[in-house]
A = this chain, B = another copy of it.
């Protein structure tokens, strides 16, 4: 498999990298792996995210078909977010990167802090 098309700004890899490279999408995905969650529950679990940005992230992921948004006509209102099959399938690639990260973070930090 050649990755030469990665040099095209519109290539698939660029697209996915832009998504998982953003600040919150991966955290949302990891949160929803265990099952559907409500907006406030996500807010609480993902420390530091503001409502606006969380909404933006969820909308973008919904647009890409990574998750679905379900509104329940109740009082108080309830909105649940659920990963789609597509969203769940992204978990494996992310885990590979995460595993590499955990195995090599010490060496990276060693270089970075010039302890070399």
Classify the interface of chain A: helix, strand, loop or mixed: helix
A7 to chain B, nearest CB (A): 6
Bound state CA distance, A58 and B3, in angstroms? 20
Please state if B15 and A101 are interface contacts (CB–CB under 8 Å).
yes
How many copies, total? 2
Question: B21 and A18: CB pair below 8 A?
Answer: yes
The residue that A3 contacts in the complex, of B20, B95, B105, with Cβ under 8 A, is B95
Q: Is the CB of A98 within 8 A of B12?
A: yes
A positions within 8 Å CB-CB of B: 1, 3, 6-7, 9, 12-13, 15-18, 20-22, 26-27, 30, 45-48, 63-66, 86, 89-90, 92-102, 104-105, 107-108, 110-112, 116
